[in-house]
Structure 1
Amino acid sequence: MTEFIIDTASCRTERETIFDHRRELPKVIDRIMASMADDTCFAHIGDEPIHFTTSVKEMIDKFREILFPGYFSREKVDAANLLYSTGQAVSQLHDILSKQIIHVLRHDCRRYELQCTECEPRGNDVALQVIQTIPDLRRLLALDVKSAYDGDPAAKSHDEVIFSYPGLYAITVYRIANLLHKFAIPQLPRIMSEHAHSLTGIDIHPGAAIGNRFVIDHGTGIVVGETSVIGNNVRIYQNVTIGALSLPPNAGEKLRDAKRHPTIEDDVIIYSGATILGGDTVIGARSVVGGNVWLTHSVPADTKVFMESPHLIFKNQETNKEISHENPV
């Protein structure tokens, strides 16, 4: 039998060391409290609490449950319970959505001392108007699903697109957030889009204007800026940036309401790694932008833009001699 010997002296020394460190914490706390009076730093003390992202996730999940009936419900949905389950989900969504809207309206009203906008009636009214658009949203998202399936040989069914494509998740959240953005609801649309961004790697600003049959293939690393305008039947691949040109340090005030991001017209395809920048940049209809292309000026309709093939060098690992790239093996 193995005998275990406890070094009590060592244990006491370790505990004393821990206590020595903890005794320093009150001094650190005093310094942190003193920094609260520094107006150059930011604090959110005594104001209406900012709502929790977990509530936003619950709201998005409830939207998806209604937008795609039977796909994301906790229980099986059939003809016998469809009316009941839909009614319950819509009622729950209205409560969650109106509460979120009222919360952010009240937060901004109190924090920034804005003129009263009657937060509660407005929140309930906007929530109802957004929910009233759900039939139209369902038709719009159905076009997105069909376009993703039709253009992707790897997709085995529409169900697969709905269940597992991160692009569709990001587009779904964008289309809801865009509605709230149009109603001038603060904070909430961005929090929703950043939630989708954190899950998918796809960053679509809720202020962007995006047409129907929009497809994001793969998706990771995509950025679509606030004032981007994207037409119908546009497909973009991973690591595409539709962004703004380099901005001066004081751009926040000078360019806040200016168009800073490109316009992508109908039936355009943008391949992976492409970067398209600038508010005056227009990619004409039916054009194709190849991988890794960098554009800061407009492209006419029906144009293909590709990078010149890079010069590759093949060398034998043993002899270090260059091999013809036409037949390197």
Structure 2
Amino acid sequence: MKPRDEEDGSGGIAGSDWNLDRIVAELRVSRAGSQAGDKHEQAAPLPSRKAVARIIDGLFAALFPTHFVLPDLTDEGIDYFVGQTLDATLRSLVNQVRLELQFASRQPDQSSGDQAQQATRITREFAARLPEVRALLENDILAAYQGDPAAKSVEEVRVCYPGIWAITHHRLAHQLYLLGVPLLARIIAELAHSATGIDIHPGAKIGASFFIDHGTGVVIGETAIIGRRVRLYQAVTLGAKSFPVGGDGTLIKGIPRHPIVEDDVVIYAGATILGRVTIGRGSTIGGNVWLTRSVPPGSNITQAQVRSEEFDKGAGI
């Protein structure tokens, strides 16, 4: 008698060992049930996470060729490499954009030619914004170097810091979000989230010279607006306080529900700021503060102050 884990003569595991006929049938029923309300999902392929990861690698190489790929080439050689890399990367991107447009389309009579033209237009506009994105990233890198006494060089910050890795993904994803391909943008955001533990929704608006120090556990919601020269530490949450529900019982989406953080604000580790509140310019929010109200410019909010307001004076209870 052959062992139960021995392969059968065809090179596969014997199906009778696992009752595969029943399992396959039940999985088919489950798929049919999950797709019953959205039939177009059955035929429309999604963008590929692996392909998007390769696209991001190509964009990183094109944006920072001497730091991630080619340290010794001449300027002319670098320009040639950047041009070739961008061409291949953008050709791949246009295919992924087209897949998202096909998946999202609710108009079965829309021609694939129209979607191909739209995908090309979106990709061309995205490419045109890359120099601006790179300039923003240089400001972010400099802000991290100036804001962290442990940083020995700008190049260390560029290649090692998880906050820079996360904001680079975000600035690319945000442009795609603005251009109308939010699924691709979300995939890029989740690639960074998986690698760094920093969760930035691609819809969040983040100004220049942004620095996340350490970074693990940072969460920034979709409608958050962050000004210039803002610094966050690990485990900071810029989240929503509540989720309004419509008459049909489903969440109302797209409404402003996350904080506005004005210029030159510092938010220390573990702080949680919820709702559409405004943190005034130049304020400092201390570690582990739980904040659900706006604060004026120049505020210095500590955990002890918040506890005193909520419990000793009765506010918010």
Q: Normalising by structure 2, what TM-score?
A: 0.85
**Matching residue within 110, 113, 129 for 2:107:** 113
Structure-1 residue corresponding to 2:255? 258
Report if aligned partners of 1:67, 1:137 keep a CA contact under 8 Å in 2.
no
For residues 270 and 182 of structure 2, what CA distance do their matches in structure 1 show?
32
CA deviations over 1:3-60 (Å, ceiling 9, x no partner): xxxxxx7x65887xx9696252212222222334435778886412112211111111
Instruction: Return the offset for 1:79.
Output: 3.0
Asked which structure has the greater CA Rg, the reply is 1
CA deviations over 1:155-186 (Å, ceiling 9, x no partner): 11111111011111110111111111111124
Q: CA separation of 1:46/1:238 partners in 2, compared to 1, >3 Å: closer, same or farther?
A: same
Report if aligned partners of 1:69, 1:77 keep a CA contact under 8 Å in 2.
no
The structure where helix makes up a greater share of residues is: 2
Q: CA separation of 1:299/1:91 partners in 2, compared to 1, >3 Å: closer, same or farther?
A: same
Q: Where does the alignment leave 5 or more consecutive residues of structure 1 unmatched? A: 1-8, 310-329
After superposing the two structures, state which structure 1 stretch, 213-222 or 132-141, moved more.
Answer: 132-141
Structure-2 residue corresponding to 1:25? 20
For residues 262 and 204 of structure 2, what CA distance do their matches in structure 1 show?
14
For residues 38 and 86 of structure 1, what CA distance do their matches in structure 2 show?
47
Quick one: which amino acid aligns to residue 65 of structure 1? A
Are positions 1:97 and 2:80 aligned together?
A: no
Are positions 1:35 and 2:30 aligned together?
A: yes
Quick one: which amino acid aligns to residue 262 of structure 1? P
Report if aligned partners of 2:35, 2:41 keep a CA contact under 8 Å in 1.
no
Instruction: Return the offset for 1:71.
Output: 1.3
Instruction: Return the offset for 1:101.
Output: 1.0
CA deviations over 1:104-153 (Å, ceiling 9, x no partner): 112222xx336738211111111111111222112111110000000101
Structure-1 residue corresponding to 2:240? 244
After superposing the two structures, state which structure 1 stretch, 186-195 or 243-252, moved more.
Answer: 243-252
Structure-2 residue corresponding to 1:203? 199
Matched position secondary structure for 2:102: helix
Instruction: Return the offset for 1:66.
Output: 1.6
Report if aligned partners of 2:206, 2:225 keep a CA contact under 8 Å in 1.
yes
Q: Where does the alignment leave 5 or more consecutive residues of structure 2 unmatched? A: 7-12, 306-317
For residues 124 and 262 of structure 1, what CA distance do their matches in structure 2 show?
35
Report if aligned partners of 2:93, 2:123 keep a CA contact under 8 Å in 1.
yes
For residues 158 and 31 of structure 2, what CA distance do their matches in structure 1 show?
47
For residues 84 and 50 of structure 1, what CA distance do their matches in structure 2 show?
33
Matched position secondary structure for 2:67: coil
Percent identity of equivalent pairs: 39
Report if aligned partners of 2:65, 2:71 keep a CA contact under 8 Å in 1.
no
Are positions 1:123 and 2:81 aligned together?
A: no
